[in-house]
Amino acid sequence: MGMSLKIIEGTWDEVQHHAQELQGRRVRVLVLPEPPVSAQGTLREFLGEFVGCIEGRAEPMAECAEEAVETLIAETYREQGLKI
């Protein structure tokens, strides 16, 4: 029977609540960089100058908008040193 991968994410204090459950188990701890202050605000604050910057008569398709947001998020995480 294979063991499934379990992911526990949170602050160190939150992860420590699982100490008894993890006792004697192999674990990997990945320390994430602190998020920039701007990333803790609203989506509108995160998008900032990009809100309303699309020019043209028709609004882009939802798929295009989703791709643009994904790109913005990926760029933010790359700036934090994460490989995306």
| Confidence band, pLDDT 50/70/90 cuts, at residue 63 | low
Q: How far apart are CA 52 and CA 50, in angstroms?
A: 6
pTM over cut 0.85: no
**Is 70 exceeded by the pLDDT of residue 33?**
yes
Please report the pLDDT score of residue 52 as a whole number.
64
Q: Tell me whether residue 74 is in a domain.
A: yes
Q: Tell me whether residue 42 is in a domain.
A: yes
Structural domain boundaries enclosing 43: 12-79
Kindly state the average pLDDT of the residues 18-28.
Answer: 92
Cα-Cα end-to-end distance for the chain: 32
Selection from 20, 77, 19, 69 nearest residue 10 by Cα: 19
Please report the pLDDT score of residue 47 as a whole number.
73
Q: Tell me whether residue 52 is in a domain.
A: yes
Domain count, the chain: 1
**Is 80 exceeded by the pLDDT of residue 31?**
yes
